[in-house]
Structure 1
C-alpha cells in the first residue's frame, strides 16, 4: 500500500505503473485483500498467492520490475530465505540495477563473558559441579546433549547485568539488496580484546540501511552496546528506544568452556554464511559442521540445557524420585514425557527397576541416547524399553503382566517448549490413559499442578500486541481479530493467552502477590476443574495482564516444588500473559 501510494504521488497513475505483491500463505493473502478493500486499494495492487520465486515475467508479471520492496528478515537476518529470494529476483524478475528498499543490511557482533549464557550451553561442566552422580554428558561425550550449533534469537537487553563486554562491536557481513548476493562467503576478523576475561558467546545484530543515500537506518542492536560503545554506529529511524518482540539479537555460544582472553590480545574469528545461516569460529578451534548429528546426539533449547545443569533443579527431581522409590525393590516405572533427565535418574537410582520410556517426541533418538550414557550411569539397557505406542494403546501384554508402580514426568515435551502452561497437562491425560495398568499403590510424580498468577505491568509487551488502527495512514483495524490483538476490544471480548519467557518481555513490574487459582490432582483421573480468586494490588501501576504459570508439586508432602513462574531466571521459564 505504501508503494502504491508513492507510485500515485510520483505521477504514475492508472496505466503508468503497477504494484505486485506476493503472499504464499492463504489465510494471510485473504487478510491482505481485506485490508486493501478497507483502504480502497483492492484495484491498485495485484496479490499473487505464490512465493516470489514462483512468479514469471510474461505470465504473472507484464515486465521486469524496477523496484523491489521486501521484508523477509528474521533475527539472524538470513533465516527466512533472504539470499535465495534475492538471487531469483535479480535473475528473473528485476531490471538491471534496480532500486531496492531496504538498500543494504550489515551484521555486527561483540564478544561477551557471561556465566548466565555459559550455563545455557556447557552442560558437561555444570553437571560436574552438581556432584550428584548423574551424567547426562559423560566424559568423552560432552556434546551428546547440547544446544544446536546455531545463532539463538534472544532479547539481550535483558542480559545487561549478566554480561561483560570483551570487545568493541565488529562488522561481520554486508548484504546489498540492490545486487545479486553470493550463496556462500567467509571472512576473517581480528578482534582486539578490551578486557581480561573468558569469552562465552558472540552476541550479534543487524543494521538496515533503508535508502541508497544512507539517511534512514533501522538497528536491532542491544541498548547496552549502543550506550557503552565508542564505535560510530548509524543513527536509526526507530530512535533506538523501542523494545521489539519480532526482531531480537542472536547469541552464538562458543563451544566447550569458551575461550580465554587477555586485554589487548588479538583474537582470530572466522565468520561464514550459507544461504540461511551465519556461523563463527573463534581462534579457529571450534568445529563447525553442517552434517546431521549422530543418532544418539540430542539437541535442546538453551533454557532446557541450563535447567538440566542447575543443581537445585536436579536435586529436586532426584530427591522426589528417591523418596518415591523407597521400599520398592523392583518397581516398574514409566517416564510419560520426553525427560531424558528423569529416565537417567530412575534407571540410575534403582538399577533393578524396569523403566519404560514413552518419549513421544524423542522416540528412538531418546533410546539411542540412553544406550550411549548407560555405562557411565551404571545401569543396564536390558531393563529399559522405549514404547512406540500411545498410552491409550498399551496393554498388560506390553508390560509382561507387570503393573506400573511409578509414573513420572517433568512434564516436558520435546519440540513443544513454546506451549501455554496448561498444555503441559498432557501429562495428566497420559497418566489417565495408563490408569488401568497402575498398581493400587502406584506413585504419580508430579503429584499435582497448581495454577498460579500475578498481576503485571508489561508496557513493552502490551505495545507489541495492542490493537492496530492507523498504520502509516492506512486502516489496519480488520486484522485485530485474526492476529489476536490486546486492548481496545469490544464488549466482553478478552485478549488471548500467549506463551512468553516473561524475563524476555522488556520492562516488567509485579503489581500483586502470587495467587493460586486452581489445583490439578494427578492422583485422580483427569476431570474438569474450576477456580477463581480475588486479586489485591500491592503496588501502583498500570495492569496490562496476568502472568499465569504452573507450579509442579513433586511429592505427596508438598515439600518439593518446581516453579515455572516469571523471573529473570532460566529456571523459571515462562508464564502466560
Structure 2
C-alpha cells in the first residue's frame, strides 16, 4: 500500500505483497474490504498457447482496478484501468501531497535544517556530503540538499508515478546531475549497486500525525545498518511529543457505544456489549479546535522525546505526573508533536496556530474508553506514554502519591494489551461512523421523520395498506433504518439489506438480543433480483428507508446518495402499487475556499512541476 489510506483521500491497496514466499491475498477479499476511493493493484496469472512453439506460456501481470457505481443495482463494480499511469496520477491528486507542498512553514523549516546541516558538515569534514533522501515524493528535499551544497543526492521513492514526477521536477530545475532518483524502497537500496558509498547525511519526511506511523524508526534503523556512515547526520534529528488530558463527550463518543439507543432499542447485541472499550487503541487525527465541548483538564506537557541521530530506537515508556487545572471526566488525551531543525526553528502540529493552517499533520485524539478516570481541580494525574516502532499510545491513572509535576524515568515499554471488542460494532465502524450512531439528536431526527410517515399511512391507509401492519425495507448498510422501524409497533415486517456479511451477522445478533426475529430479517446480499418473496413476511414494501450509508463509500457522500437512488430503482418491483413517490428537489450546497489556488497547485503538480516550491 502506498502511504496507506487516510480519511481525506485515496490510496493504492494490494501492493504490499512483494515477497515471493508470502501468500498473496485473495482478490475477492481485497475488493470486499477496499473503499470506493481506493485503487487496487493486484497480480493476475495468465497462460496461452504459443502457436509458433506449440508451448504454453505462463506468467503474472499487474492489473490496476478502480471502482464505479453500478447504475443497474447500486454497489461497486471494479473495472480494469487500461491507462494505469493516468490512474496513478489521480491517486496522487487525491493524496495530501498538494497540501504538503503548499505548507510554507514546513518547506522553510526543512530548508533551514538542510542548509544548517550541510554547512556544519562541510566545516567539520572539509568536503561536501553525500545525501540520502528517503521517500522523496516530488523531490523537494533532495533539491534543497543539492542547492545548498551536497556533493550528490540519492533519492528513493517506492511509488513509481511519484518517482517519475520527482525526476521530471528535478530535471525542470536543472539539478538532474546532482540528484539521482530510484523508484525503490529504501530497503531495496544497496552499496555500491545504488549508492557508490555510504551516505553522510539522511533527510526524510516520514512523519504522519502520530509521528511514527509511516515507519520512520525501522526505516532509519535499516539505513543506519546498510546505507549510512556511523556518524551520519539525520535531518531532522529531534522530535518531542506533547499531550494534555481533556473532557469532551463528543470525543468519548467517537469510540464508545455506552448507553446508545436507536430510538427505543439499545444498540447492543448482549447485556455486556455496552461495556466494550473498543478492542483497540484508537488514535484519531482531528482538528481539535473544531470540537466545541473540549475542556482542558491539565496543562500541556512533554511526554516523549526522540533523537533520530542515535542508533537506539527501542520501545519506550515514560510517565509524567501532572496537576489537574479543572474538574471533570477524563474523556480523551490530545497529542501533537514538534520537530526541531536547529537554531530555534521548529515545526509543530498543535492546533494553537503555531504554524499556518494545514490538513496533512493534525493533532491526534485518544478516546479513553478503556479507563474511567474522574479528576478534580488540583488532583495529581499520572499520564503514561508508550511507543514502539510505529505507534504511540497512552494510559491515565491516579498515582498513589504525586503532588507536583515531574517526569519519571523512561523505560522499556511493558505489555499493555487492549481488550478485544465484545460489541462487534468496532469491527465494522470507524470513528466517524461511531460518532454518527452515538449522535442522539441525529438519531432523534431520523426517528421523528419515520414516525411521522408511519402515522400518516396508518391514518390514511390505501386499499393495499389496510392490513394490520406495515412493511419496511432498509437498503442502507448498518441497519439503522431497520432498527428505527423496529421501535414502531405498527411496523411488523422489516427487511434490511447489508452489503457485508460481517455487518449482517452483527445486526442479526442485535435483533435477536431484542427478540426481533419475528419482525426483522437481515439479508447479507445486494439488491439485484430482490423479490417480494425474499422479504420478511413476503409482503410488498410500504416504506423504503436509508440514511444513506454504505461502508465502501463512507468517505464519498455524493456516491452514497447516488447509490441509494440506484438501489431504490432496483427494488421498485417490491413496492406496493400505491407506493408514494413525491416530487422532491434535492439541492447540494458546497462551500469552498480558495479553489483557484487549489486548482493551480494541482495543475502545477501534474503538468509543470514544482519549480516555485523550491525557495
TM class by smaller structure: 0.5 to 0.7
Q: What CA RMSD, in Å, does the superposition of the two structures yield over aligned residues?
A: 3.5
Q: 1:202 aligns with which of 318, 333, 336?
A: 333
Whether the aligned pair in 1 keeps the contact of 2:323 and 2:380 (CA below 8 Å) is yes
1:409 aligns with 2:546: yes
More deviation, 291-300/240-249 = 291-300
1:136 aligns with 2:267: yes
Question: What residue is the counterpart of 1:156 in the other structure?
Answer: 288
More deviation, 71-80/367-376 = 367-376
Q: Deviations over 1:95-125 (max 9, x none)?
A: 1121011111111101112244334344424
Q: CA deviation at 1:201?
A: 1.2
Q: 1:311 aligns with which of 437, 440, 462?
A: 440
Provide the rounded CA distance (Å) in 2 between the counterparts of 1:481 and 1:273. Answer: 41
Question: What residue is the counterpart of 1:321 in the other structure?
Answer: 450
Q: 2:162 aligns with which of 28, 33, 37?
A: 28
Whether the aligned pair in 2 keeps the contact of 1:147 and 1:301 (CA below 8 Å) is no
Provide the rounded CA distance (Å) in 1 between the counterparts of 2:281 and 2:584. Answer: 36
Q: 1:95 aligns with which of 197, 221, 229?
A: 229
Provide the rounded CA distance (Å) in 1 between the counterparts of 2:529 and 2:607. Answer: 39
TM-score for both structures, normalised by structure 2:
0.64
1:344 aligns with 2:483: yes
Provide the rounded CA distance (Å) in 2 between the counterparts of 1:104 and 1:467. Answer: 34
Q: CA deviation at 1:76?
A: 1.0
Rate the CA distance shift 1:482–1:384 in 2: closer, same or farther, 3 A.
farther
Q: Deviations over 1:67-102 (max 9, x none)?
A: 111011111112222222222222222111210111
Q: CA deviation at 1:251?
A: 0.8
Whether the aligned pair in 1 keeps the contact of 2:553 and 2:560 (CA below 8 Å) is no
Q: 2:573 aligns with which of 436, 448, 457?
A: 436
Question: What residue is the counterpart of 1:246 in the other structure?
Answer: 360
TM-score for both structures, normalised by structure 1:
0.68
Q: CA deviation at 1:480?
A: 5.0
Rate the CA distance shift 1:314–1:217 in 2: closer, same or farther, 3 A.
same
Whether the aligned pair in 1 keeps the contact of 2:278 and 2:369 (CA below 8 Å) is no
Q: CA deviation at 1:430?
A: 0.9
Provide the rounded CA distance (Å) in 1 between the counterparts of 2:371 and 2:435. Answer: 14
Rate the CA distance shift 1:450–1:483 in 2: closer, same or farther, 3 A.
farther
Provide the rounded CA distance (Å) in 1 between the counterparts of 2:372 and 2:607. Answer: 46
Q: CA deviation at 1:246?
A: 1.1
Provide the rounded CA distance (Å) in 2 between the counterparts of 1:27 and 1:295. Answer: 42
Provide the rounded CA distance (Å) in 1 between the counterparts of 2:195 and 2:541. Answer: 65
Provide the rounded CA distance (Å) in 2 between the counterparts of 1:200 and 1:322. Answer: 34
Question: Which residues in structure 2 correspond to 1:364-443 (within 5 Å)?
Answer: 364-380=501-517, 383-388=520-525, 390-395=526-531, 398-399=534-535, 402-421=539-558, 423-442=560-579
Q: CA deviation at 1:410?
A: 0.1
Provide the rounded CA distance (Å) in 2 between the counterparts of 1:87 and 1:292. Answer: 32
Whether the aligned pair in 2 keeps the contact of 1:121 and 1:253 (CA below 8 Å) is yes
Rate the CA distance shift 1:322–1:338 in 2: closer, same or farther, 3 A.
same
Q: Deviations over 1:133-182 (max 9, x none)?
A: 221147521156969631100112334x5322211112222222223353
Whether the aligned pair in 2 keeps the contact of 1:359 and 1:366 (CA below 8 Å) is yes
Provide the rounded CA distance (Å) in 1 between the counterparts of 2:267 and 2:288. Answer: 28
What SS does the corresponding residue of 2:298 show, helix, strand or coil?
coil
Question: What residue is the counterpart of 1:58 in the other structure?
Answer: 192
Question: What residue is the counterpart of 1:193 in the other structure?
Answer: 324
Rate the CA distance shift 1:223–1:70 in 2: closer, same or farther, 3 A.
same
* Higher normalized helix content (fraction of residues): 2
Q: CA deviation at 1:219?
A: 0.6
Provide the rounded CA distance (Å) in 2 between the counterparts of 1:248 and 1:53. Answer: 28
Whether the aligned pair in 2 keeps the contact of 1:145 and 1:300 (CA below 8 Å) is no
Q: 1:296 aligns with which of 405, 421, 424?
A: 424
Q: 1:172 aligns with which of 303, 307, 313?
A: 303
Whether the aligned pair in 1 keeps the contact of 2:497 and 2:523 (CA below 8 Å) is yes
Rate the CA distance shift 1:311–1:290 in 2: closer, same or farther, 3 A.
closer
Q: 1:262 aligns with which of 366, 372, 376?
A: 376
Question: What residue is the counterpart of 1:511 in the other structure?
Answer: none
Whether the aligned pair in 2 keeps the contact of 1:107 and 1:174 (CA below 8 Å) is yes
Rate the CA distance shift 1:295–1:91 in 2: closer, same or farther, 3 A.
farther
1:78 aligns with 2:212: yes
Q: CA deviation at 1:247?
A: 0.9
What SS does the corresponding residue of 1:424 show, helix, strand or coil?
helix
Unaligned runs of 5+ in 2: 1-139, 400-414, 459-464, 611-615
Rate the CA distance shift 1:258–1:467 in 2: closer, same or farther, 3 A.
farther
1:220 aligns with 2:349: yes
Question: What residue is the counterpart of 2:70 in the other structure?
Answer: none
Rate the CA distance shift 1:376–1:396 in 2: closer, same or farther, 3 A.
closer
Question: Which residues in structure 2 correspond to 1:274-285 (within 5 Å)?
Answer: 274-283=388-397
Whether the aligned pair in 2 keeps the contact of 1:90 and 1:179 (CA below 8 Å) is no
1:479 aligns with 2:605: yes
Q: Deviations over 1:343-393 (max 9, x none)?
A: 322234359734333222xx22222322332355341278413232x3224
What SS does the corresponding residue of 2:258 show, helix, strand or coil?
helix
Whether the aligned pair in 2 keeps the contact of 1:336 and 1:409 (CA below 8 Å) is yes
Q: CA deviation at 1:425?
A: 1.7
Provide the rounded CA distance (Å) in 1 between the counterparts of 2:307 and 2:449. Answer: 56
Rate the CA distance shift 1:63–1:245 in 2: closer, same or farther, 3 A.
same
